[in-house]
Structure 1
């Protein structure tokens, strides 16, 4: 029978999402509608908090995905800490300098400092993080590229 009105279901939905379950999987496991899962996520007051205040090295990269249909391409720009597997900060937007600068601002708003930024050769990252030490090239972004692969194949 339908479980969407039972107490505790919102907590279960959020817990499953944090643990990496997809929207359809959560709906099936908890016997609720996909709409209930999406409403619970959109109404959540969860705020991303960094696990540390200072990171020696953060990897930054862009990741595209389709939402709804192939004409609706969306870009996720995020900072990743390889040693812990933590996504430290993220922003959605266009693949441009303004979005890269929003990521840097988000890191600052979260109170995150870093010694070094690793990125690919994308000019927007090079420009945005020019004040700090940069490691540029695919060799330095192995961790975040692996995370991109995991995200894409979930």
Structure 2
């Protein structure tokens, strides 16, 4: 007789115990790892979309150019299920905590107080897109480390000063001493000229990231019949891409 261990689909640990049965008589399990966020699971779901693997596939397909109906056809599930699964990711982090944690607390305070410390430089820019029609514009405001190219923070909003003010507030913990941007007025109005350099010469890395986004997410392509029909789904797909690819987070 061969005993096959049951692994937790989220953390892949085998410290799993039985946790009763479902109404259909299927065995339920619970992971014993304290840091695991999965409360209970079963090994054989009647509907494929309930499994964690399929939910992760939905996110992966969304950030790799697949539309809602494309994903539903490939995975054999309902388009409504795809939408509801993606909407579970509404509360996505807007700041790269991995980069922030590498900064020493004292180092951050020094950077905020010393103008001559210009080690941390950031490129900031906004990228145009639309929802439903080109009259309903949507903008991605974000910032990257000028030296490493790592994404620091992002905001999805309209093209008004309040959007950049929100982004600037997210960037404050990084203690950025030099900003590089284009000549859009919001930057000139809200960044001290001492810490601000205008010109495309120093924003090539972030412009290249715009191209990556438009290549990977078809709803962002300029000449296409594919576009977002709701602001919520538009923001969720872009947020998932940034969190998984740029922040390196695993979000189901």
Question: Scaled by the length of structure 2, what TM-score is found?
Answer: 0.51
SS in structure 2 at match of 1:64: strand
Deviations 1:68-125 (A, max 9, x none): 23332111111123544432211122212221111111223xx332221110111211
SS in structure 2 at match of 1:39: helix
* 1:147, distance to aligned residue in structure 2 (A): 1.1
The answer on 1:74 being equivalent to 2:138 is: yes
The answer on 1:38 being equivalent to 2:83 is: yes
Pick aligned residue for 1:99 from 154, 163, 175: 163
SS in structure 1 at match of 2:203: helix
* 1:127, distance to aligned residue in structure 2 (A): 2.1
* 1:132, distance to aligned residue in structure 2 (A): 5.8
> For residues 1-154 of structure 1, what are the structure 2 equivalents within 5 Å?
3-14=48-59, 16=60, 20-24=63-67, 26-44=71-89, 45-50=91-96, 51-53=98-100, 56-108=120-172, 111-130=173-192, 133-154=195-216
Moved more, 22-31 or 137-146: 22-31
Query: Over aligned residues, Cα RMSD in angstroms?
Result: 2.7
SS in structure 1 at match of 2:50: coil
SS in structure 2 at match of 1:22: coil
Q: In 2, Cα distance between the equivalents of 1:83 and 1:106? A: 19
More strand by share: 1
SS in structure 2 at match of 1:102: helix
* 1:29, distance to aligned residue in structure 2 (A): 4.5
Q: In 2, Cα distance between the equivalents of 1:31 and 1:81? A: 41
In structure 2, list runs of 5 or more residues that go unmatched: 1-46, 104-118, 217-252
SS in structure 2 at match of 1:135: strand
In structure 1, list runs of 5 or more residues that go unmatched: none
Distance 1:46 1:91, change over 3 A: closer
Distance 1:29 1:152, change over 3 A: same
Q: In 2, Cα distance between the equivalents of 1:134 and 1:29? A: 48
